[in-house]
Amino acid sequence: MPDFMPYLALENFEVLKPIGAGGAGRVYLAKQTNLDRLVAIKVIKKSRQYNDDLFKRGLIEAKILAKLDHPNIVSIYDVGEKPLFFYMVIEYVNGGSLHDQILRSKKINELEIWQIISQVCRGLQSALAEGVIHRDVKPANILLSGKRYAKIGDFGISKVIEDESKITKEGSILGTPNFISPETAQLGVNDFRSDLYSLGVTIYFCLTKKMAFDGDNVMQILFQHANELIDAPMMHNPFLSPDANLIVGKLLQKKPENRYHSYGDLLVDIENILHKKKLTYASVRDAQLIYKPNQIQLFATKTRRHTVTQRIVDVMYNAKIAFDNAIIVGTWDINTRSNYITKQAQLVHYMNSFTEVKMFLEQYHEQKNIVVIDVDHRQELSVDIFTLLRSEFPETNVLFVTADEIEASEEQKQYLCTYEETMSRLSQNLAKVKDINFDFIARLAKEKSWSFDLEIEDDGTINEVNIKHGDICNMRETREIVSKKNTTWRLLRVTPPELSE
């Protein structure tokens, strides 16, 4: 690789020294003299396959990436072209890469790794909200500041240019072979779920210092991604928490639709593992599809089945009422506002972009779904998502939630309600249910603090009975009455629990 330093005569930049090199170029530390700050300049050599369209495409993407203002994404300051190379001026992050940090460390700190991965997720989530995917997620592209603050690097034009410089003629791929997804390796397909897969391989490496997929040549590695089962991380690092194996197993599913449906869902499980709670989305069933069979028992027996974490009790799902899935769009506080929805959905998914929502609805279009959009998250983006949903998925239930009055069209106002109104509106579904049994009501009252008013006719006498949380004696007496052969009853009113419960 030639040294481009003698040719880096850029106005307002003083090039200090080379700080990194790769297959397509070098990275130099420089000082931006007019702003008195350190920056990194990535230089990428031109290849024989270079053409003007490639660079124009890169400039368009660079403009998009310039809008990505997120603390977990390396900022792009400038981009340009010289006769022998392209260059990018980017934010300088002084802590080195996650890859180097893992190799240097004598002991693997699982808690610290999950904290770093959580930051990476938020950066990728923010980029996806702007329609940008990374396509080369790996430890070497995750940079750390001095205090373990993670920033994702190599977004955009550097990735586009590097990809094209690697292309031979046919069968070329985007990404690094050890971290590439099966669908990318086989079909050249990339979407955010491919980034999730690469993130799974990244986590695997961080937890074990081993590659999940490794071979003597590129074709062998790509074959492994698409076809082979792997060792669970615990086989290389027996000190890992059992749930770490499940999260990685969920991310490394061969089929994209079996992975996490959004970065928000992954963040929920990361928060669960950080706070020693039951996982919400990853399961032993996922692990069975990716890990070698004789290894599942090593951690499956230690892992509790995930149950009512952020969702309604199983009986509501079995009764075939309310919603199968609630998709919450926006940065919700999982334990407060979203309680309105979690009390009536079998499973809740947290999403931040129309791309995530669209893929989910296409996959589960036969199920009963509700999309809840938090207008206060980002009003303009929320309105755009709402408009697209009404256009492309007119049969999907949509709820437009806000704390304040906003400017809205007549159509939007039909779906608009405040946080306080949300639970009341959702509870109407329950009140309309005809085929409902008393045990179901009793469990909802006991486990979810719902309150129910019943009208009971017993031997010609009609009485009203209230079933609520904590009133165990009344619950038992009422169960005895309604279980009689000649007794009939109906549901009069449903009162949802308070938000604070």
Q: Active-site residue numbers?
A: 136
> Between helices 438-448 and 472-482, what is the axis angle to 10°?
170
Q: Give the span between the Cα atoms of 329 and 481, in whole angstroms.
A: 44
Q: DSSP H helical segments within 228-322, as ranges?
A: 233-236, 242-251, 263-274, 284-288, 296-300, 314-318
CA distance 31 to 256: 43
From the number of C-beta atoms within 10 Å of its C-beta (0-12, 13-18, 19+), residue 486 rates as exposed
Q: At what angle do helices 192-208 and 263-274 cross, to 10 degrees?
A: 20
Q: Is 320 exposed, middle or buried (0-12, 13-18, 19+ CB in 10 A)?
A: exposed
Q: Which of helix, strand or coil describes residue 407?
A: coil
The alpha carbon of residue 461 and the mean position of all alpha carbons in its chain are separated, in whole angstroms, by: 55
- Cα–Cα distance, 263 to 120 (Å, whole number): 10
Nearest to 316 by CA among 437, 149, 188: 437
Alpha helices in 67-173 (DSSP H): 98-104, 110-129, 157-166
Residues paired with residue 25 on neighbouring β-strands, in sequence order:
44
